[in-house]
Amino acid sequence: MAAASPILSLITLALALVGLLGAYLGIISPMAGFQTFIAGALLGGLFATVLALIGLFLSRGGRDPEGRNKSLLGLSISLGLLIVVLAAASTGGDAPPINDITTDLDSPPAFADATLVSEYAGRDMGYPPEFVEIVRTSYPDLQSLHLDESPPDAFARATKTAESLGWEIVATDEGARAFYARDVTGIFRFVDDVVVRVRPDGDGSEIDVRSKSRDGRGDLGANAKRIRALLDALR
């Protein structure tokens, strides 16, 4: 059992790396990579930790020094993996399990028709009504932004700002003064879709943003963080 602990820990580490690198390199889908990483690092890590603890118990009192060292090695690897997973999960704080956030809950910016952005084809791009109260309660700071600029100037600045943040502008609707973008997460390469809408507001303009994840139910707060980044840069 002591000998099996470090072996299982290394297998677990390898499985986690396959998921992470596979998604990052585009060999497997982001969701498949994430699930493989979680299965390896979390489930495998927990099992390897239990196995290592049993090995430490059985080798207590100097009964099996070599077995104890192997158990300690397995425990250090498995605990390291668990710490990585828990640290990653904690980045979302108390983010609710939703994946579509907007600054305008009464009239959420609409994504373009699939004839303009082909990547939207076959997907429901409507705003989930059950998310409205959740967003209102969880993200009260996300509100429409007023700028003392004409709509054309505000639209041009919002577009340049989005590009400076690393977003890829995939389409622009000058008539609706809206642009559509995509942003890719750093590790697992999840793709999130964004729409930014500019409307007249008195002598200035009102900017609204909507950010939606393509995969998963929750987003660990990533969409709200993305919206804040744009609004803060425009203020």
3-state secondary structure of 197: strand
Query: 202: phi > 0 → left, psi -120 to 50 → alpha, else beta; which?
Result: left
The pLDDT of residue 1 is above 70: no
Query: Do 183 and 169 meet the contact criterion of CB atoms below 8 Å apart?
Result: no
For the chain, the first-to-last Cα distance in angstroms comes to 60
Query: Does an H or E element contain 80, and which?
Result: helix 65-90
HSE-CB for 11 with a 13 A CA cutoff: 11
Please tell me the predicted confidence (pLDDT) of residue 135. Answer: 97
The more confidently predicted of residues 233 and 31 is 233
Q: Which tokens hold the place of 26?
A: 């585009």
**Exposure of 160 by Cβ count < 10 A (0-12 exposed, 13-18 middle, 19+ buried)?**
exposed
Helix (H) or strand (E) holding 45: helix 45-58
Reported confidence tier of residue 88, pLDDT bands at 50, 70, 90? low
Answer whether residue 53 shows pLDDT above 90.
no
Q: Over the stretch 163-185, which tens digit does the pLDDT of each residue have?
A: 999 999 999 998 899 999 999 98
pTM: 0.80
DSSP designation for 27: S
Residue 209 DSSP SS3: strand
SS3 119: helix
- DSSP letters, 165-202, are TT-EEEEEETTTTEEEEEEE-SSS--EEEEEEEEEEET
Distances (CA, A) of 150 to 9, 14, 87: 59, 55, 44
SS3 180: strand
Please, which pLDDT band fits residue 91 given cuts at 50, 70 and 90? low
212 confidence band (pLDDT: 50, 70, 90): very high
